[in-house]
Structure 1
Amino acid sequence: MTTRREQTSNESRELILNAAAELFAEKGYRQTTFHDVAHRSGISRGSIPWHFGSKEGLLLAVLERSVAGLRDGLAAVPAPGAGSGEPGFEPFERGVGAMFALPTTKLFVTLLVEALEPGSPIRDRYIEIHDTLREHCRRWLERLPLPPGLSAEPLAVALIGAGIGIHQQWLLAPDRVNAPEALATLRTLVAGLLPPAHD
């Protein structure tokens, strides 16, 4: 049975993780300080190293939780069905397109530069994130009637790359890039590759 003290500790930990995830997504890892996290979370600055040991430990904990959330979010996407409207477009819209609506997408894209640094502590986590995204995308594409000359594996790599690239452009220049419009265009382009569905 969880004691009140343990419950309070768990609640504090979640508040810190939520605040850190928001700040890492907004400012990046290097620009975020313990003071920022304490201010955003309402938890004392000294509690952060007590829970996570170091800033790097906090970063790894944020990513660990985000990867788990990513898997849960992708698992919750409904399987392709007949549906209504444009049947050939529906599976992509409901499946692959949903990946880039996940709350963690901005965080993953913002921290990508950190993951590319030599010796980065989150490099392996990012490999795992990309593996998860590509695998999910590939499984969805394999259920669709792709035209001759296209196969699911390289198309999944291209789509994930396009989605990440759109988000990177938007983060760099949000006043010049309309991310929702660009992602909708990407979905429409993929839908155009699919042959018309027949009842």
Structure 2
Amino acid sequence: MTTRREQTSNESRELILNAAAELFAEKGYRQTTFHDVARRSGISRGSIPWHFGGKEGLLLAVLERSVARVRDGLAAVPETGDPGFEPFDQGVGALFALPTTKLFVTLLVEALEPGSPVRDRYVEIHEALRDHCRRWLERLPLPPGLPAEALAVALVGAGIGVHQQWLLAPERVDHAEALAALRALVAALLPPRATDRGAG
């Protein structure tokens, strides 16, 4: 049974994580300070290292929670029966709707740095999305010579790239139209019957 003290501690931890995720997405990891997180969360500055040890520990906790949410969302998609385009919408399509996607895009440069503590988390996120798309594509009648794994890499890359462009210039990039274009490209690869099934 959770005590009141443990409940309060967990609530404080969540407030800190929410504030840090927002700030990392808005300002970037390097520009965000404990003072910023404390002010945004309403939790004292001294509580942050008590919960997470340091700034790197806070960053890893934010990303671990985000990875878990991505995996939970993908796990909710049925993997049996007629796949249609629902797995696409909840996989690649979800990139445009996830509140954590801006965080992933903002921290990408950090992940590419040599020895980055967040590189492994990014590998996990991309791997989860690729696996989800691959499992869906393997259930579709793809043309011979077009591996589901390679197409999954292309779809996830397109989804991430479109989102980056939209974040940089939302007035110039329509992410809904881009998603529809990706769907149409996949549908064009399939026999008419499969395409009709995915359009419903």
Alpha carbons 2:63, 2:121 under 8 Å: kept: yes
- The separation in 2 between residues aligned to 1:59 and 1:191, in whole angstroms, is 39
Question: How far apart are 1:103 and its partner, in Å?
Answer: 2.6
Taking the aligned partners of 2:26 and 2:177, their CA distance within structure 1 comes to 21
Name stretches of at least 5 consecutive residues in structure 2 with no aligned partner: none
Match of 2:149 in 1: 153
Alignment of 1:174-189 (within 5 A): 174-189=170-185
Q: Percent identity?
A: 85
**Mapping for residues 1-199 of structure 1, pairs under 5 Å:** 1-79=1-79, 81-82=81-82, 89=85, 92-93=88-89, 95-197=91-193
Deviation per CA, 1:136-157: give whole Å up to 9, x if none. Answer: 1111110111122311010011
On the 8 A contact 2:96/2:175 being kept in 1, the answer is no
Instruction: Give, in whole Å, the separation in 2 of the partners of 1:59 and 1:69.
Output: 16
Offset of 1:166 from its aligned partner?
0.7
Structure 1 position 188, deviation (Å): 2.0
Shift of 1:68: 0.8
The residue type paired with residue 176 of structure 1 is R
Q: How many pairs were matched up?
A: 195
Q: Which moved more, 1:124-133 or 1:150-159?
A: 124-133
Give the TM-score normalised by structure 2.
0.88
C-alpha distance 89-15 of structure 1, shift in aligned 2 (>3 A): closer
The TM-score normalised by the length of structure 1 is 0.88
| Distance in structure 1 (CA, Å) of the matches to 2:17 and 2:84 | 40
**Structure 1 residues 150 and 163, CA gap change in structure 2 (3 angstroms):** same
Residue 40 and residue 184 in structure 1: after superposition, are their counterparts in 2 closer, same or farther (change >3 A)? Answer: farther
Q: Comparing 139-148 with 185-194, which one deviates more in the overlay?
A: 185-194
Shift of 1:5: 1.0
Q: 1:5 to 1:92 in 2, by over 3 A?
A: closer
Q: Which amino acid aligns with 2:118?
A: I
